[in-house]
Chain A
Amino acid sequence: MIDFSGAIGVIGAGVTGSRVVEHLVATSSLPILLHDQDLYGAQRLAAVHRSHNVAVSVVDFEAVSTASVVVLACGSPHAPLAQKILARGASVVSLSDDVSDVMNLLKMHDEVAAKNKTLVVGAAASPGMTGLLLSSLQSNFDEIDEAHVALHGTGGPNCAVQHHRALAGQSIGWHDGEWLRRPGGSGRELCWFPEPVGAYDCYRAEMADPVLLKKAQPHLQRITARVSANRRDRFTARLPMLVPPHAEGGMGALRIEVRGFRNGSRIVEIAGVAERVAQIAGVVGATTALFVHRGQITTTGTCVLGQDSLPNAEILRDVLTGGIRLHQFVGT
């Protein structure tokens, strides 16, 4: 078997996978090994980047596992794939936003640590970018105790299916020392996102953010996550998807509201991003993979963006340099 240990592997040539490859091509000269069950889609994506200096090769699963780090940008579940890839000696960056998949990935900590490898869980938009923003905003506080996430929009078709499922599932929220489960689609809250997205009603949903933000910052007392939805989304959430999802959702946005204390006063800081969700996820996933490849993430075992042992400020800086615009809410 050919050794591609200096390469970065990408599994998934869909909307998010193509953004991961685009960002890797734009910011590094490392060879990229691309794998997708849809061989035609993978070859088409590789052909788009054929004229660039970076070699994008379409390979089988065995070959992609020989890369130093593999980005999982395909549909969930990622846990079985991650297990196989880690067994072959590569580190893994997972972009999964499915709660049960994320829980299964987190359970692999001891196994990954024993192999002296890194498994970054939820390195996408929400979760992923939210962890980076939480870590950044944390420096504005003496102490933080609440984080509230809201997401608008979807990436590719898999993400749209996940959004549909999330509204029908059970939301998980951390509230004063215990996990609270509430039905998805409840708990309406009007959330303002950065322009041009604006205000949307957001509801509780089965999102992985609370689980991962709690792992990143265990001292948080309250964590919630909401997703924007209209009446039709909520009404049809418990039915199969009646209309096939779009190839890619339109302009999306995410925001995180962090509450805590500074100089004895209770304060709130809100940061947000308005961009296509797949673009945010692709840039965050690719940037994280580059950090793992360069050895700038030295944590072994499972880790999540936003935890103190990761170079979150440097990762966020590179993400913003990659074209993601960060906004902060200013007002009363």
Chain B
Amino acid sequence: MNFIRRVLMVLGIAGIAGALLRVRGKSEPSSQRGGWRPLNPTTDSIVDQTSSQN
């Protein structure tokens, strides 16, 4: 009986902690910025010295 109580208590605490994190947790905005640039094979070279450095 004690064992079941302990298991239920652990599950309850874990559930509450998970719910708190999900509701109140804040994710930091990503510091990465950027996007995709189409390369035109006729005019652009894939060799592009101005490309991303991350």
Contact = CB atoms under 8 A, between A and B. Distances in A.
Nearest to A319: B41
B46 A268 contact: no
Interface residues of B, number: 19
Interface of A: 136-137, 139-140, 192, 194-195, 265, 267-272, 316-317, 320-321, 325-332
Given A327-B39, A332-B52, A271 B46 contact: yes
Contacts of A329: 34-37, 52
B36 A330 contact: yes
Contact of B47 (A139, A326, A332): A139
Nearest to B53: A267
A332 to B, nearest CB: 5
Interface of B: 31-39, 41, 46-54
Given A321-B41, A330-B34, A140 B46 contact: yes
Given A137-B46, A331-B33, A332-B32, A325 B52 contact: no
Given A271-B39, A320-B41, A330-B37, 12 more contacts: A139-B47, A140-B51, A268-B53, A321-B41, A326-B39, A326-B41, A326-B46, A327-B37, A327-B38, A328-B39, A330-B50, A331-B35
Contact of B36 (A140, A267, A320, A328): A328
Contact of B32 (A136, A317, A331): A331
A328 B41 contact: no
A330 B52 contact: yes
A328 B34 contact: no
Contacts of A326: 38-39, 41, 46
B33 to A, nearest CB: 5
A134 B2 CA distance: 61
Nearest to A313: B46
Contacts of A136: 46
A328 B53 contact: no
Given A140-B48, A272-B36, A326-B46, A331 B41 contact: no
With a 10 A CB-CB cut-off, give which of A192, A195, A271, A330 has the most chain B CB atoms: A330
A110 B38 CA distance: 41
Contacts of A321: 41
A269 B39 contact: no
A267 B53 CA distance: 5
A326 B41 CA distance: 8
Contacts of B51: 140, 269, 328, 330
B40 to A, nearest CB: 9
B41 A317 contact: yes
A331 B48 contact: no
Nearest to B50: A330
A332 B38 CA distance: 17
A326 B42 CA distance: 12
A320 to B, nearest CB: 4
A160 to B, nearest CB: 26
10 closest Cβ pairs, A-B complex: A331-B34, A320-B41, A327-B36, A136-B46, A194-B36, A326-B39, A330-B37, A332-B54, A267-B53, A330-B52
A245 B39 CA distance: 33
17 contacts: A139-B46, A140-B51, A192-B36, A267-B53, A268-B52, A268-B54, A270-B52, A271-B46, A272-B36, A316-B46, A326-B38, A326-B41, A326-B46, A329-B35, A329-B36, A330-B37, A331-B35
A317 B44 CA distance: 11
